[in-house]
Structure 1
Amino acid sequence: KKKKKQKKKKKKKHKQNKRIETASTRLSLSLSLSLMEVATENVDVESGNTSDPEDNNCSDNDFEPSKLGTKEYWEEAYQKELETFTDIGDVGEIWFGEESMSRVLRWMDKANIPQNAAILDIGTGNGAFLVELAKHGYSNLTGIDYSSASVELARNILQAEGLTDVTVQEMDFLNCHGELVGFDVCIDKGTFDAISLNPDNSKEGKKLYLQVLKDALKDKGFFAVTSCNWTKEQLLDRFSEGFDYVQELPTPSFQFGGKTGNSVTALIFKRVY
């Protein structure tokens, strides 16, 4: 009995330590999100928009390069999340929070997106959005991420939820070589942000992203993007070629200096050519 008690105490202490470690990791991720929000350069304080000094549109150097745009950063982050899930069953960080998923789901309901629609989650992370989509009744789901730890974590979480019909693949969206086609809806929650911060190929990455997105979507397919780096005007400019703007989804707003703005932007586009 004494040995059993000691064993239970050790196990309890291990879980407590793991929760502390997890909280530290979450804080790091939250700080990373904050850094993404302030990474914009050339910001006009009055309007809150970033402008290109040459043509008043988005420049190819909108943001300072950051480790948040590197595969190594996310591989390390999701490896820690994977270890935490294995140890104590904690699913990890939900990027932009649960409300970011709920607002897209509400739009899908109002837009009457069929439950058998082919849906792609770009940069799926821990697969939390795939879980919510599946619970919402959507049955043709695919998630991709270039982090192997992310993919393993997402698969483990889906399996724990009993959701075995969801596809999760290790794949770099910018280097998928035409493997992604025929989707009715593509969802991005922070991946375009990360690509924009890549120290190596931000300029080319943003251009390539647009082309791969067009290839992945069916004609008249929808693109739902959530960003903490880009304003509505910037996203409209970035996705003006080949897409029609459908609507902006409501996000939390703030006031500063008599001006009102949003820390997160969520837009819906439709592929037209």
Structure 2
Amino acid sequence: MEAATGSPPGYGNNSDTEEDRDSETDFEPSNLGTKEYWEDAYRKDLETFKDIGNVGDIWFGEESMSRVLRWMDKAKIPENAAILDIGTGNGAFLVEMAKQGYRNLTAIDYSPASVELARNVLQTEDITDVTVKEIDFLNSQGKLKEFDVCIDKGTFDAISLNPDKTKDGKKIYVSALKDVLKCKGFFAITSCNWTKEQLLDRFSDGFEFVQELSTPSFQFGGKTGNSVAALIFKRVH
């Protein structure tokens, strides 16, 4: 699963007050957190791609991919590094990473239509050495291991909106991330629901903050804020 360009309905960075940053209050549940929503969305995108070759929306825009790729280059992530794209959506980011020379790419999504769409997009781009699997990250224990880099653009956001298991889902996500990421491996997350401070708190156990990536800012009421947070963490024991 991925978030569409910009901030989809039901998304939006939390208030940056101290009270909100420290609270565990979730957003109102939304169908954006359900598998049914994303399966329907990617089924339509798949039909459109087969008809006219349009891959659909790029989550958070093309710049969201470029900023992570720039970080990967500056961090000297090896081309053979094992990289996991969590909630690959239409697979657009896989294409960009492959074009940059990364050749040990794995992608997962719990939507069968997403997996089929991503595979079709990769095939059209003549990219054949990428593994795309139908896996629910929250139920991935034992199915994924030993990644050097894990990347999330919007999946943690969607999990946070799940009507059935918002709090449990976030905890399970962190546990699953610890399980699949190597010690000293990197985690890159882009979110439009959570502030930098909230993400630092959520990923404080087992992860070390590395850096914040620059994202567009806005001014309102004399204060400056960001509609998107993009952070890099390192897995530690």
What is the CA distance between 1:109 and its match in structure 2? 0.4
Runs of 5+ in structure 1 lacking a partner?
A: 1-28
Q: Given that residues 58 and 237 in structure 1 are in contact (C-alpha distance below 8 angstroms), is that contact kept between their aligned partners in structure 2?
A: no
What is the CA distance between 1:238 and its match in structure 2? 0.2
The residue type equivalent to 1:231 in the other structure is T
Match of 2:11 in 1: 36
TM-score norm. by structure 1 comes to 0.83
SS in 1 for 2:46: helix
Match of 2:184 in 1: 220
Runs of 5+ in structure 2 lacking a partner?
A: none
TM-score norm. by structure 2 comes to 0.95
Residues 1:161 and 2:125 aligned together? yes
User: How far, CA to CA, are the matches of 1:144 and 1:50 in structure 2?
Assistant: 35
Identity of aligned residues (%): 74
Match of 2:142 in 1: 178
Match of 2:19 in 1: 51
Q: Given that residues 50 and 62 in structure 1 are in contact (C-alpha distance below 8 angstroms), is that contact kept between their aligned partners in structure 2?
A: no
- Cα deviations by residue, 1:52-94 (Å, 9 ceiling, x for unpaired): 5xxx6240x3211111000000000000000000001111111
Of stretches 201-210 and 29-38 in structure 1, the one that deviates more from structure 2 is 29-38
SS in 1 for 2:218: strand
User: How far, CA to CA, are the matches of 2:197 and 2:146 in structure 1?
Assistant: 28
Residues 1:192 and 2:163 aligned together? no
CA RMSD of aligned residues (A): 1.6
Cα separation, partners in 2 of 1:162 and 1:204, compared to 1, 3 Å: same
User: How far, CA to CA, are the matches of 1:66 and 1:258 in structure 2?
Assistant: 31
SS in 2 for 1:163: coil
What is the CA distance between 1:32 and its match in structure 2? 6.3
- Cα deviations by residue, 1:141-198 (Å, 9 ceiling, x for unpaired): 0000000000000000000000010000000000012211100000000000000000
1:1-273 to structure 2, matched below 5 A, reads 33-37=8-12, 40=14, 43=15, 48-49=16-17, 51=19, 57-59=22-24, 61-273=25-237
SS in 2 for 1:36: coil
What is the CA distance between 1:30 and its match in structure 2? 5.6
Q: Given that residues 216 and 226 in structure 2 are in contact (C-alpha distance below 8 angstroms), is that contact kept between their aligned partners in structure 1?
A: yes
Q: Given that residues 87 and 152 in structure 2 are in contact (C-alpha distance below 8 angstroms), is that contact kept between their aligned partners in structure 1?
A: yes
User: How far, CA to CA, are the matches of 1:50 and 1:205 in structure 2?
Assistant: 24
The residue type equivalent to 1:57 in the other structure is D
The residue type equivalent to 2:12 in the other structure is E
How many correspondences in the alignment?
Answer: 235
User: How far, CA to CA, are the matches of 1:31 and 1:178 in structure 2?
Assistant: 34
User: How far, CA to CA, are the matches of 2:129 and 2:52 in structure 1?
Assistant: 25
The higher radius of gyration belongs to: 1
Higher RCO (CA < 8 A, seq sep 6+): 2
